[in-house]
Amino acid sequence: MSVLGDFLVRAGLAGLGVAVAAGPLGCFVVWRRMAYFGDATAHAALLGVTLAIALELPVALGVAIAALAMALTVSAATGRTYAMDTMLGVASHGALAVGLVSVSFLTGVRVDLMGYLFGDILAVTRTDLAVIWGGAAAVIALLVWRWGRLILSTLNADLAAAAGVDADRERLILTVALAILVAVALKVVGVLLITAMLIVPAAAARAFARTPEAMALHAVGIGAGAALAGLAGSWRFDTPTGPSMVVAAMLALVAANLGAAAVRRRKPG
């Protein structure tokens, strides 16, 4: 019983760690319309896994490097020859395909592909937990440190410039935070659903928030609730855990919007 409790506790803590970092970062992804960009960055993670195994690096480090390299390449290349969404589509699906192909070149190592694609939260170790919470703390620290400047440059680059804020530097900060989050969330929800954990809680939080800060805090709460509810649901119904968390977040999104619509209707006038 205690062993059972132990791995469930670790899974719960891992899910909470991702939710805490993904809440505020996901708000920026929503505000800046970076969902597709997030996808491209996350999909590079698989290539990072191959890289890490081939070079005998820690997996999280390889993933963060690959995600950052992808994000920087995509930012530098957008708008040159193709439209933004074509470019992101190529990068996103290309990275996934190259990642899947690259994994097959690894010899002598058995790679749990499904685990990387959909997450394997029930297999989270103490070391994984340290990586997840360390990464989440780094993301939160980055965002808190730059918060005012990030909000200003997200609102309007010219307004930021007039206030002495370099919008390009702030975008780089967000890109680094995103790469760290991809490395953190890989074990929990997997490559394919990382973007969902970013944007679904943030989008659900929009329904009730009146300020950017309130939206970020609500997103943390909704993400944390979804992580725990998804874990409980997957235990109860024997469903895959990462996808169950995303389903829980989706239900929160629908409920939040129905609730907000009901509140609006009840208001007089």
Partner 1 sequence: MSAADAPLIEARGLGFVRGGQPILARVDFRIGAGEIVTVVGPNGSGKSSLLRLLIGAERADAGAVIRRPGLRIGYVPQRLAIDHTMPMTVNRFLALAEADAGARRAALMRVGAQGLGDRQMIDLSGGQFQRALLAQALLRRPDVLVLDEAAQGLDQPGVGRFYRLIEELRSELGCAVLMVSHDLHVVMAASDRVICLNGHVCCEGAPTVVSAAPEYRALFGLGTQGALALYRHEHDHAHGHGDGLDAGFGEVPGAAGRERAPDDAAHRGHGRQRSGA
Instruction: Give the integer Cα–Cα distance in Å for 149 and 164.
Output: 9
Using the minimum distance from each CB to partner 1, give the nearer residue, 92 or 153.
Answer: 153
Compute the least distance from the CB of residue 108 to partner 1, in Å.
47
Compute the least distance from the CB of residue 256 to partner 1, in Å.
13
Using the minimum distance from each CB to partner 1, give the nearer residue, 131 or 205.
Answer: 205
CA Rg, the chain, in Å? 19
Using the minimum distance from each CB to partner 1, give the nearer residue, 188 or 200.
Answer: 200
- Which residue's structure tokens are 């992101």? 88
Instruction: Give the integer Cα–Cα distance in Å for 166 and 160.
Output: 7
Would you state the structure tokens that stand for residue 7, as one six-digit string? 């791995």
Instruction: Give the integer Cα–Cα distance in Å for 160 and 167.
Output: 7
Compute the least distance from the CB of residue 8 to partner 1, in Å.
35
Which residues would be at the binding site for partner 1 (CB under 8 A)?
Answer: 30-33, 148, 151-152, 154-159, 161-164, 203, 206, 209-215
Compute the least distance from the CB of residue 178 to partner 1, in Å.
17
Using the minimum distance from each CB to partner 1, give the nearer residue, 83 or 162.
Answer: 162
Compute the least distance from the CB of residue 49 to partner 1, in Å.
32
The count of C-alpha atoms lying within 13 angstroms of the C-alpha of 155, restricted to the half-sphere facing its C-beta, is 14
Using the minimum distance from each CB to partner 1, give the nearer residue, 55 or 83.
Answer: 83
Residues 6+ apart with CB under 8 A from 219: 22, 23, 24, 26, 27, 201, 202, 204, 205
Instruction: Give the integer Cα–Cα distance in Å for 185 and 261.
Output: 32
